[in-house]
Amino acid sequence: MTDIAEPRLAGAWQDADWTKRRLRRRYRAERRFKAYGLVAVFVALGFLALLIGSVIVEGYPAFVRTSVALEVDFDPKVLGVGEAPTAEELQRADYGKLLREAVFAAFPEVTSRKERRKLLKLVSTAARFELRELLVDDPSIVGTTRRVWLTASSDVDMLNKGSAPRDVPEDERRLDDQQLGWIDTLHAAGFVETGFNGAFFTNADSREPEIAGIGGAIAGSFYMLLVTLVLTFPIGVTAAIYLEEFAPKNRVTDMIEVNINNLAAVPSIVFGLLGLAVFINLFHLPRSAPIVGGLTLTLMTLPTIIIAARSALKAVPPSIREGAYGVGASPIQMVFHHVLPLATPGILTGTIIGMARALGETAPLLMIGMVAFIVDIPGSPFDPATALPVQIFLWADSPERGFVEKVSAAILVLLAFLIAMNAVAIYLRRRFEVRF
């Protein structure tokens, strides 16, 4: 290192050997750091791919379902109705018997009670409701015989989709060899079919995995988000505008600001407790209702939206404000004519991201009873309902094998919604953002 001083004096240290060595070391360090970064990114991407991949692989089968065709003789005597039944009669008719007769008719050689019971297990218990629907829709088919596609039982469904293995000892299977034989017979006759599971999106929850759907949860989440949006957007934006543009800067507003920031970091379960205490215990709003969920999520989302809206307002350059003041605009004109339009993309983005967070929220909903098992699709924010993430939680808790795929499928739907919302946010930002 004795050669340091000399080249420096000569002003030619840039060409010295030690300089080049140093330079090479610096470049090596840079390359190393880039490599670490790339590894980190790929590890993260790998985990993400693993997660999404496993969810897709597990959840994909839930979007198809197995149906079994039966020749159903809509005999009024079996149904216990007259030749020309009234709508009321049809509602109360004995569809269980109709289904049983149809199943037995498909396998006339099976006669023992025990075997017949096993035979019934091939078709979903919910198939009788499908039959009822068919008749209620079209009473004229009473007295005729038709081939009707009915939902197969979850066990058959699993087997058919390959989710349940065939080649294990009989006592480890849900279906015994005899049942497998019947299924194969049906298969051979073309009476077993797999198709798109539309019911998954339209049905509400059910104890039977084969007919359980997320329709109820989607409706619940929708009403909840509607309530949240209607409340948070105006309240949040107004609060943000006031705090950012009009509020005097003093200790009180500083306190408010600090507290808003703190609220945004409060665990969501705390908001659930608050919702339970205030909306249900104090205001006696209905339990398990999206209105309460929406109110609770409003409390949770408000700070986020206020912060997002404030930063969007802050991002509008002061020169615009000065320009507006300069031509004699009043503060309110300045805000509504100039600042707010420029801040809108940012505010909308913040709102959508807040909504997305609310959509994915589970904990506070557990506290206010939206974790209940509800088989009806809610028609208004006041009906008992559940939400998508809660539905996932509920199904993940269920012991039936058929719910495993439902969990993943529901997660996929939830993810799709979240991605769609974020995409809209990005689109809005790109489309309407004004650069200065």
Partner 1 sequence: MTEDSDAMVSLTMEDDAAPAAAGSAADTDAAPRMRMRARDVNVFYADKQALFDVDIDLALNKVTALIGPSGCGKSTFLRCLNRMNDIIDICRVTGSITLDDRDIYGRDIDVVQLRARVGMVFQKPNPFPKSIYENVAYGPRIHGLARKGRELDEVVEQSLRRAGLFDEVSDRLQQPGTSLSGGQQQRLCIARAIAISPEVILMDEPCSALDPIATAKVEELIDELRQHYTIAIVTHNMQQAARVSQFTAFFHLGELVEFEATEQIFTNPHDQRTQDYITGRFG
Distance in angstroms (rounded) separating the CA atoms of residues 354 and 357: 5
Examine residue 265 and tell whether it contacts partner 1 (CB under 8 A): no
Distance in angstroms (rounded) separating the CA atoms of residues 290 and 216: 11
Examine residue 348 and tell whether it contacts partner 1 (CB under 8 A): no
**Among 338, 357, 401, 429, interactor with partner 1 by CB under 8 A:** 338
Q: Which of residues 380-419 bind partner 1 (CB under 8 A)?
A: none
**Among 77, 113, 114, 249, interactor with partner 1 by CB under 8 A:** 249
For partner 1, the closer of residues 133 and 322 by Cβ is 322
Find the shortest distance in angstroms from Cβ 418 to partner 1. 31
CA distances from 125 to 130, 151, 155, 331, 363 (A): 10, 9, 12, 67, 33
DSSP 195-242: EE-THHHH----SSTTT--SHHHHHHHHHHHHHHHHHHHHHHHHHHHI
**Among 104, 129, 242, 325, interactor with partner 1 by CB under 8 A:** 325
Examine residue 329 and tell whether it contacts partner 1 (CB under 8 A): yes
Find the shortest distance in angstroms from Cβ 250 to partner 1. 9
Distance in angstroms (rounded) separating the CA atoms of residues 61 and 54: 12
Examine residue 251 and tell whether it contacts partner 1 (CB under 8 A): no
Nearest in space to 389 (alpha carbons), one of 367, 407, 404, 369: 407
Beta bridge partners of 68: 150, 192
Examine residue 147 and tell whether it contacts partner 1 (CB under 8 A): no
For the chain, the straight-line distance linking the first and the last C-alpha, in angstroms and rounded, comes to: 52
The span of 29-37, 44-52, 235-243, 336-344 binding partner 1 (CB under 8 A) equals: 336-344
Examine residue 324 and tell whether it contacts partner 1 (CB under 8 A): yes
**Among 248, 265, 399, 430, interactor with partner 1 by CB under 8 A:** 248
For partner 1, the closer of residues 21 and 337 by Cβ is 337
Supply the DSSP symbol for 433.
Answer: P
For partner 1, the closer of residues 190 and 326 by Cβ is 326
Examine residue 337 and tell whether it contacts partner 1 (CB under 8 A): yes
Nearest in space to 195 (alpha carbons), one of 104, 79, 63, 296: 63
Residues touching partner 1, count (CB under 8 A) = 21
For partner 1, the closer of residues 204 and 324 by Cβ is 324
Examine residue 320 and tell whether it contacts partner 1 (CB under 8 A): yes
Nearest in space to 186 (alpha carbons), one of 149, 214, 154: 149
Q: H/E element holding 17? A: helix 17-59
For partner 1, the closer of residues 64 and 320 by Cβ is 320
Find the shortest distance in angstroms from Cβ 434 to partner 1. 4
- Contact (CB, 8 A) for 435 and 82: no
The span of 92-100, 207-215, 293-301, 332-340 binding partner 1 (CB under 8 A) equals: 332-340
For partner 1, the closer of residues 37 and 331 by Cβ is 331
Strand segments (E) across 242-341: none
- Contact (CB, 8 A) for 334 and 324: yes
Distance in angstroms (rounded) separating the CA atoms of residues 343 and 407: 39
**Among 145, 317, 397, 423, interactor with partner 1 by CB under 8 A:** 317
For partner 1, the closer of residues 103 and 342 by Cβ is 342
Examine residue 434 and tell whether it contacts partner 1 (CB under 8 A): yes
The span of 116-124, 128-136, 320-328, 369-377 binding partner 1 (CB under 8 A) equals: 320-328
- Contact (CB, 8 A) for 152 and 123: yes
Nearest in space to 228 (alpha carbons), one of 335, 392, 395, 364: 364
DSSP 97-128: HHHHHHHHHH-TT--SHHHHHHHHTTB-TTHH
CA distances from 310 to 239, 268, 307, 350 (A): 9, 22, 5, 10
**Among 51, 323, 423, 427, interactor with partner 1 by CB under 8 A:** 323
Task: Give me the 187-206 binding string for partner 1, x by CB under 8 A, dash otherwise.
Answer: --------------------
Examine residue 269 and tell whether it contacts partner 1 (CB under 8 A): no
Examine residue 104 and tell whether it contacts partner 1 (CB under 8 A): no
**Among 322, 373, 375, 380, interactor with partner 1 by CB under 8 A:** 322
Examine residue 429 and tell whether it contacts partner 1 (CB under 8 A): no
20: left (phi over 0), alpha (psi -120 to 50) or beta: alpha
For partner 1, the closer of residues 261 and 333 by Cβ is 333
Residues that bind partner 1 (CB under 8 A): 248-249, 317, 319-330, 333, 337-338, 342, 434, 436
